[in-house]
Structure 1
């Protein structure tokens, strides 16, 4: 009986469905930006666990596609409720649903799902981190995440926000407790994790993509930040064989 405590029985066909609380918890973890919880969910291949999710199609792949569309619809709306710009959330939803046209295997279906929930979760994490920040700091954040490919300096942020470089530096220390350069470096390294996990780009390509001075410098910073070399990180967490175009990757990160 304990095994069924998270499920509910449909009286018409006696199919056991997951209790809505279990699904709602997952969606809330996305909307709250809980990256660790969503990463764990993906690593456990929960999307492929069909116990209690209901059968929407007799074809296994089509069944997953239907459930994917339901998930995207719920997640996009929950993210709007939790602070994501409506147009951005729905545009992201459209992008992933349109991506279903290219899916022809269950493996690729799971990869798309994991990309989608990781993408939304990462964006919600940034939104929550920005909550309560001053307007200049929010503008700095927007600039940083829109220019991760470029070399970003305090002077760039100062000019963008019409403030002095010293004021911006002090703002980062006061509101975030880190230096501007440390924050920018961490943002680039976090984004590089996505490419290590979800693309086949080489280390030198990733280093160049985010404008690190060299591959060795990128590797050194990455290991200091994560405790793993980029190569070891990829070996441990690599979950797809998806090779995105630059447009796909920027959509994935932005």
Structure 2
């Protein structure tokens, strides 16, 4: 911003923006971000697109820092920041700069939603869910998770299914599909590259698993923006 005039209003809006995001109020957060962008545009003249781009870069850095302060693992924070910068670089133009901001908000809210502590009746199951959410971009297996919690794979698989209603293998695939959606919609990464990044054995298997949960193939999901994001909800525990 070219002057400190209106800075108090700007900072107050930014404070409200984060409050709404951390309350999972997406529509309110997007509306506040538009007010912030309007303030930037009013003070930027011909350089408005560049000014907004610089603000998005600054905003993504603030988001990353807040994630780290919320005890999100450093590797996931770095992945968030890198993906945010890619969105800004690929979608920051005259037609899409508002959509670009919306996507940054959606991405942050998706990650902080993952940090909500599950409320199943078995604490190990709750910890396993958080651990998977944090490490989903690594080549995580049932054996890896069991070893991390120092319990047998058979015991872990049994209690996980007993409390969540799905197998541990299913949940690993579900979380991969949920995460892949962002990269399909908001980056230029190839489908095979995304498949490899989430450690599917091959692209054909990735396509089959993705369609099983999202209802469409990865290419169809990318090409048809109107198709809703797949979001899994656990069955209620008995």
TM range (shorter): 0.5 to 0.7
Say whether residues 1:85 and 2:71 are aligned partners.
Answer: yes
Say whether residues 1:142 and 2:131 are aligned partners.
Answer: yes
Q: Tell me the equivalent position of 2:142.
A: 154
Alignment of 1:47-196 (within 5 A): 47=34, 55-58=42-45, 59-65=47-53, 68=56, 84-85=70-71, 95=81, 106-107=92-93, 110=97, 113-130=101-118, 134-135=123-124, 137-139=126-128, 141-143=130-132, 145-150=134-139, 152-196=140-184
- SS of 1:237's equivalent? coil
Task: Give the TM-score, by structure 1 length.
Answer: 0.59
Aligned length: 209
**Deviation at residue 179 of structure 1 after TM alignment:** 1.3
Question: Aligned partners of 2:150 and 2:199: how far apart in 1?
Answer: 25
Distance 1:78 1:154, change over 3 A: closer
Question: Aligned partners of 2:66 and 2:34: how far apart in 1?
Answer: 19
Answer whether contact 2:64 2:81 (CA < 8 A) is retained.
no
Distance 1:130 1:29, change over 3 A: farther
Distance 1:178 1:29, change over 3 A: farther
Distance 1:55 1:179, change over 3 A: same
- SS of 2:115's equivalent? helix
**Deviation at residue 130 of structure 1 after TM alignment:** 3.7
Answer whether contact 1:55 1:63 (CA < 8 A) is retained.
no
- What are the ranges of 5 or more consecutive residues in structure 1 without an aligned counterpart? 1-11, 239-254
Q: Tell me the equivalent position of 1:7.
A: none
Distance 1:106 1:227, change over 3 A: closer
Across the aligned residues of Structure 1 and Structure 2, the Cα RMSD in angstroms comes to 4.6
Question: Aligned partners of 1:86 and 1:190: how far apart in 2?
Answer: 18
